[in-house]
Amino acid sequence: MFSNEEREAIYKVISTRRDIRNFLPDPVPKEAVSRILEAAHYAPSVGFMQPWNFILIESNELKKRLAWAADKERRALAIHYEDDDRAEKFLSLKVEGIKDAPLTICVTCDPSRGGAHVLGRNSIPETDIMSTACAIQNMWLAACAEGLAMGWVSFYKKADIRDILEIPLHIDPIAIISIGYTDEYPKQPILELVNWEKRQTLEHLIFNNKWGGN
């Protein structure tokens, strides 16, 4: 069982975690990286398939190439946000974060791990990606507890990432993660601060017994 202080710490980390774009060049301690990856590896996975791998990238040349892949997609996305400077700035910050952060991690998903018949995955094939997302969330919470900032870049062409990092065709590059220290850690999510959207009220999202049930 957890003490009151331990329970409060867990909820504090959950509410404090942010998607960060600005990083300092200071190196990330290897011990902290190991703890963050171990937290990811403790994530739940459907059928205990553990479909994730983590490619640690410190090469500036590789980070530049990853940033190029993200920037190419950013420019494609910008067409949909031509009249919104907030979106353009946010997307640009994501690209810069890849280059500025001392450590980049590509989190992948292997849909073949566990064989053709993974318990629970036969019914819902996407559970391998869901499991990998759980690992990424554990990384985020662990990074926050370590006093580190983490950002998730999710716009890129998978073929580009496979080519840059020499990832086999059947492996899915789920996320490009930036990790480092920051001197800009907002109290609210960045998109909430710029009034992109307001947090929805939880009670309006809860139904009883059936969809729409009060």
Give pLDDT tens digits along the chain (214 positions): 899 999 999 999 999 999 998 999 999 999 999 999 999 999 999 988 999 999 999 999 999 999 999 989 888 877 777 777 766 666 676 788 899 999 999 999 999 998 887 877 888 889 999 999 999 999 999 999 999 999 999 889 999 999 999 999 999 999 999 999 999 898 988 778 877 788 999 999 999 999 998 8
- Residue type present at position 186: P
Instruction: Give exposure, 164-188, as e/b (b: 16+ Cβ within 10 Å).
Output: bbebeeebbbbbbbbbbbbeeeeee
Distance, in Å, from the CA atom of 92 to the CA atom of 73, rounded to the nearest integer, reads 11
Distance, in Å, from the CA atom of 214 to the CA atom of 210, rounded to the nearest integer, reads 9
Distance, in Å, from the CA atom of 184 to the CA atom of 134, rounded to the nearest integer, reads 26
pTM over 0.85: yes
* Correct CATH for 19-205 of 3.40.50.1820, 3.30.70.20, 3.90.420.10, 3.40.109.10: 3.40.109.10
**Confidence (pLDDT) at 70:** 92
**Confidence (pLDDT) at 96:** 85
